Each structure stands twice: as structure tokens, then as C-alpha cells.
Amino acid sequence: MTDVRLRQALLVAIVILGLDQATKEIVRRSMQLYESIPIFPGFSLTYVRNPGAAFSMLSGAPASIRIPLFVGVTLVAGWALVSYLRATPEHRLHLVWALGGILGGALGNLVCRVRYGEVIDFFHLHWGEWSWPMFNVADSAISVGVAIVLFESLRGEGAGVAATPGR
């Protein structure tokens, strides 16, 4: 892997990890659990803790099973991301940045799981009776990164294909 791709992906991952941990710490220190602060219609900051995975999956499982499982899944995902990054053509920087964002988000939630046994979430989208599950900066980076990777795969010039410049 060239140093450029690795450095750029790691820089994005570090920025996402830092933003994620800083925002979670601000929420943890300045809000009470389950406190909600309306920002504008349909969007609030609401402090919750999620012991499960996405959408609270496995939240009822014992911590002795849940935490090692999530740590293991994160490590495997990290390995897969680095493998995909190695196969990504150097000229596709937006894909490198997306992979860095996914990695940073995964690490951000991993830090929470190791520190607290659960993830701090606080972004709350809602409208009337409808409410999207709470999320955080790490979740946002993962979602945006995955969307970019999927979009790029649909474009047809996938990672691992020796692409010619200007193609």
C-alpha cells in the first residue's frame, strides 16, 4: 500500500475519532441521561446509552458476551477495511477518505464500548410520532462512508481493479 492512501485514511480516521470522542464527552459531562434539548423542529440532542449494536441489536445480551463480540467484529471490520484500502486505486481519494471515515467511526464506538460497556448516542431525528434511532458522530461517519463505498461500487470502477487514470 502506498503511504499516501494509508496516511490519508488514517488522518480521516483520527479526525472522526477525535470529533466523536469530543462530542460524546461534551454530552456526557453537560447532560443528564435521557435529557433532551430541542435544536430545531425534528432535531434534538438526546443523551442515551446503547449497549447493543446498530438499532440496539443484542442490547439484551450479557456484557460478557456482547462486548467481546463487538470488539471482535470491529477488529475483523478494521482488517477488511485495510484490505479494501490496499486494493483501492490511489487516484480515488474520496473512496480512501470514505474508508477512513468508516474506520474512524468503528474505532469511536469501540472506544465507548471498552470505556463504558455501551455507546453514547445523542443525535435524535423525529417528526410527530416518528422517531429515528439515536446516533452519534461515529455512526454518521460509518453511514456516510458506507454510502460512498456503495455508490462507487455501483459506478463500476471498484477497488482492486487496476483503473487507468482518466477513466
The number of C-alpha atoms within 13 Å of 49 and in the hemisphere containing its C-beta is: 12
Give CA 47 to chain center in angstroms.
18
**For residue 104, which phi and psi values (nearest 5 degrees)?**
-60, -40
Collapsed DSSP state (helix, strand, coil) of residue 67: helix
Question: Is 139 annotated as catalytic?
Answer: yes
Q: Which of 51, 139, 141, 142 is catalytic?
A: 139
Which H helix or E strand runs over 110? helix 93-116
Q: Which of 81, 102, 121, 149 is catalytic?
A: 121
Question: Is 3 annotated as catalytic?
Answer: no
Give the active site residues. Answer: 121, 139
